[in-house]
Structure 1
């Protein structure tokens, strides 16, 4: 912003500040083979800056191998009030439970 010297400005609009930047959710994968987990949120003017800021803020001690940043307004999630419509119907599907067949002893990790 250019100043006129008398305490007023030339009418230029100041750049948006951190309070008006979009909110990003940060997900971090701590080690290879593990899934990403939500570690926090931050505000940034764009994706690239959000990724850099997330790296600086959440991986100061070399905790991570991968970072995701997602704008909060791009996330879709169910609410706890929707538990029955989303998760209730799976309980009445007996075929999802491995009780109708025998698992061979030589098959590991099941």
Structure 2
């Protein structure tokens, strides 16, 4: 509280950061939580301390929560329905080399 009785905690609160950790080389990063930090450097340090204590991570990403942009769930069909009118995206459009036998 300030001397005039107003709440000052909101003015001094650090912004939230989302933390993503890659557990092994070659795997994707997974969202593992959030934290509050003054800047990106401190956010990485805090994320390392909080989310990789047992040496399970090989890479840490931090992103300010207010910088994440997401699609609207009501737009699901626009983003995720098959694109039947774009045959070049179908896997049958491409011929695989004979040396590729695992697809």
Aligned counterpart, 1:4: none
Give the structure-1-normalised TM-score.
0.72
Correspondence for 2:80: 87
Query: Number of matched residues?
Result: 96
Runs of 5+ consecutive residues of structure 1 not aligned to the other structure: 1-7
Match 2:35 to one of 16, 22, 42: 42
* TM-score normalised by the chain length of structure 2: 0.76
Quick one: distance in 1 between partners of 2:84 and 2:18?
32
Aligned twin of 2:64: 71
Mark the runs of 5 or more structure 2 residues left unpaired by the alignment. none
Q: 1:102 to 1:64 in 2, by over 3 A?
A: same
1:5-44 → structure 2 map (5 Å cutoff): 16=12, 20-44=13-37
